[in-house]
Structure 1
Amino acid sequence: MSSDDTGHHARHLARPRTMYLLNQANQAIRSQLEQALRGLSLTGIQYTVLAIVGSRDGISSAELSRRFFVTPQTMNEIVTGLEKRGLLRREASAENRRILTASLTTEGEEMLKACDAIADEIEAASLKGLGEADLQELRRILRLLLIDLRGG
């Protein structure tokens, strides 16, 4: 057995599974975020959509659905809800009139600031046990994982 096989075998036998640990950490933090966002009548996924639209002005719903690993129909429902609340607007893309791109409204920018403040508090409290070097390493590893999971 090669050292790669041994490493893979040991990784396979690790319990609990890494994906279980990732999921549990995600669920614990998401639960706190969801509860805190209720006061703003927003869900975690709605906040995350606002954050991505805020950082990638003009993103399409199709691009958003790929980022969230949800169907275009599901993302369209989320975006439509945010649009009806006046938090974002959609308009036809200059390159392709059939594609609608999303942008934050002034109200959406204000909501995003309020949500970011809540998320900052939850993230700081959740990760307070990590030193700066560990936190940076965790972020590096998670970015690599996301690149792989998104296919490149």
Structure 2
Amino acid sequence: MSNPAAPESAPYATIGFTLKQAQHALRTRMDADLRGIGLTTPQYAVLACLKIEPGASNASLARHAFVTPQTMQAILVTLEKAGLITRSPHPEHGRVRRTEMTVEGLRALEAATDIVADAETRLRKAAAPLDYQAVTALLLRLTDALR
């Protein structure tokens, strides 16, 4: 017997399909909201990473933003042209470039932080009455199971 409260997509409600739906909904929401301040979700991820890891390499930034190094290169060019980051040669590794956030980049990150916090609040409310830490732990276990 089917659950009358289940969404219309319930026949496809496998764990993997549902995770992808949630990821897509999060990305769509964040891209739409960040667009208002001139950023995309991967661009936000770069700025957030640079706040924690100033001077991060292209490869490190790509891992944090879940994109390929080639895609990250295009993201960095866009952010640099917008004046949100600067890039300079690494003092020890000739082919590696250090990436750092500018004052304008920090301002953009601060504006984006409220948008990202709103998305996180929506997710936590939707997870209730479950504890968000329990939901996060479950998602991490699912991630580890596939690695």
Q: TM-score, normalised by structure 1?
A: 0.77
The aligned residue for residue 109 of structure 2 is 112
The aligned residue for residue 142 of structure 1 is 139
Distance 1:80 1:145 in 2: 34
Distance 2:142 2:86 in 1: 32
1:29-80 CA distances to partner (integer Å, 9 max, x unpaired)? 2211111111112111111121112221111012222344433221100011
1:36 aligns with 2:33: yes
Q: Could you say what secondary structure the match of 1:82 adopts?
A: helix
Gapped regions of structure 2 (runs ≥ 5): 1-11
Pick from 125, 128, 140: which aligns with 1:128? 125
Q: CA deviation at 1:144?
A: 5.0
Distance 2:47 2:145 in 1: 24
Bigger proportion of residues as helix: 1
Cα distance change of structure 1 residues 146 and 89 upon mapping to structure 2, 3 Å threshold = farther
Aligned CA-pair RMSD: 2.4
Q: CA deviation at 1:84?
A: 0.8
Cα distance change of structure 1 residues 69 and 95 upon mapping to structure 2, 3 Å threshold = same
User: Counterpart of 1:34 in structure 2: which amino acid?
Assistant: D
Cα distance change of structure 1 residues 145 and 91 upon mapping to structure 2, 3 Å threshold = farther
Distance 1:145 1:64 in 2: 24
1:105-138 CA distances to partner (integer Å, 9 max, x unpaired)? 1110110010011111122023213348621122
Q: Could you say what secondary structure the match of 1:24 adopts?
A: helix
The aligned residue for residue 98 of structure 1 is 95
1:48 aligns with 2:45: yes
Q: CA deviation at 1:93?
A: 1.7
Q: Could you say what secondary structure the match of 2:92 adopts?
A: coil
Q: Could you say what secondary structure the match of 2:36 adopts?
A: helix
Cα distance change of structure 1 residues 148 and 83 upon mapping to structure 2, 3 Å threshold = farther
Q: TM-score, normalised by structure 2?
A: 0.79
Aligned residues: 137
Gapped regions of structure 1 (runs ≥ 5): 1-14
Distance 2:93 2:144 in 1: 27
Q: Which moved more, 1:115-124 or 1:48-57?
A: 48-57
